[in-house]
């Protein structure tokens, strides 16, 4: 992980991967690229954590994979969001929103609590 990037919070990577897959099946390399681009190069996903995460999501049944030929003409493993994964994304998205608001409220507070 590079100094310039934001550290991924635990579970955040799963959320991001599920989100990127809502646009359609993708292989691991594409997922890294998309996250990087969408975050304006603020989030750099380490490959060392991405692939185990993908396989874990597969194990839980949130994504499924199949081998297809990529745009570059090579065989690649494409991951696809399952209905179960979609439901999970919705739930985690909501949780994430609450988390962010809560953290912001603390950080932006102007006086010590009574």
Partner 1 sequence: MTAQPTQPSRWRRLLHLRRSVRAGVQEELAFHVAMKTEELIASGLDPAAAREQALESFGTVADVRDACIEIDERVLRRERRGDYMTSFVQDVRYALRNMRRTPAFTVVVALTLALGIGANTAMFSVVDAVLLKPLPYAQPERLVSLVTVSRDVNEFPSSFAEFQHWRQHADGPFSALAALFRNGATLAGDDGEPMALAGARMSAVLPRMLGVQPLVGRAFTAEDDPHTAERTVMISERLWRLRYSASPSIVGRTITLNGNPWRVIGVYPSNARSTLPFGSVETTPTDLWMPLRLDPAAEWLYGLQFMSVVGQLRPGITATEAGAWMARQPPLPGLQIAGAPPQRPNSVRVYQLSDRLLDNVQRYLAILLGAVGFVLLIACVNVANLLLARAALRQRELAVRTALGASRSRIVTQLLVESVMRALLGGALGVAIAYASLAAFRAYLPARLPRFDEVQLDGRVLLFVIVVSLLTAIVFGLVPALRASRPDMVSTLREGGRGLAGSMRHDRLRRSLVVAEVALSFVLLVGAGLLFRSLNAILAVPRGFESANTLTASVTLPAARYPDSTRQVTFFESAIERLSALPGVKSVTVTTSLPIEGGVNGGVNIPGSTFGPDERPIAEKRVVSPNYFEALGARMVAGRAFQPTDRAGAELVVIVNESFVRRYLPDVDPIGRMVDFLWGTPEGVPQRIVGVVADIREQNLNEPSAPAIYIPATQRPIDGGYLMVRTSGDPISVLPAVRREILAIDRYLPLSQVRTLDDVVDGGLSRQRFSASLLGAFSLLALFLAAIGIYGLISYAVAQRTSEFGIRAALGAQSGDIVRLVLTESGTLVLAGVVLGGAAAAGLTRVLSSQLYAVSATDAVSFVLAAGVLVAAAMLASALPSWRASRLDPARALRSD
Residue 52 engages partner 1 in binding (rule: CB under 8 A)? yes
Q: What is the DSSP letter of 40?
A: T
Instruction: Select from 40, 72, 108, 110 the one that contacts partner 1 (CB under 8 A).
Output: 72
Residue 51 engages partner 1 in binding (rule: CB under 8 A)? yes
CB of 76 within 8 A of CB of 68? yes
Segment interacting with partner 1, rule: CB under 8 A, options 3-11, 18-26, 69-77, 93-101: 69-77
CB of 20 within 8 A of CB of 62? no
CB of 43 within 8 A of CB of 5? yes
Q: Which is nearer to partner 1, 19 or 27 (CB)?
A: 27
Q: Which two tokens stand for residue 8?
A: 């991924």
Least distance between partner 1 and beta carbon 54 (Å): 8
Q: Which is nearer to partner 1, 75 or 98 (CB)?
A: 75
Segment interacting with partner 1, rule: CB under 8 A, options 6-14, 43-51, 83-91, 105-113: 43-51
Phi, psi dihedral angles at 67 (to 5 degrees) = -90, 130
Q: Which two tokens stand for residue 46?
A: 């380490």
Looking at the chain, list the stretches that DSSP marks H as alpha helix, in order from N- to C-terminal side.
Answer: 12-20, 28-38, 47-60, 83-107
Give residues in contact with partner 1 (CB under 8 A): 27-29, 46-48, 51-52, 55-56, 58-59, 67, 70, 72, 74-77
């Amino acid at each position: 992980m590079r100094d310039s990037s934001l550290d991924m919070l635990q579970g955040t990577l799963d959320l991001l991967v599920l989100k990127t897959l809502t646009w359609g099946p993708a292989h691991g390399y594409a997922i890294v690229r998309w996250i990087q681009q969408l975050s304006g190069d603020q989030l750099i996903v380490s490959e060392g954590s991405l692939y185990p995460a993908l396989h874990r999501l597969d194990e839980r049944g949130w994504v499924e994979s199949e081998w297809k030929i990529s745009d570059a003409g090579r065989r690649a493993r494409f991951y696809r969001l399952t209905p179960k994964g979609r439901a999970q994304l919705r739930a985690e998205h909501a949780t994430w929103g609450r988390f962010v608001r809560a953290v912001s409220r603390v950080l932006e507070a102007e006086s010590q609590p009574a």
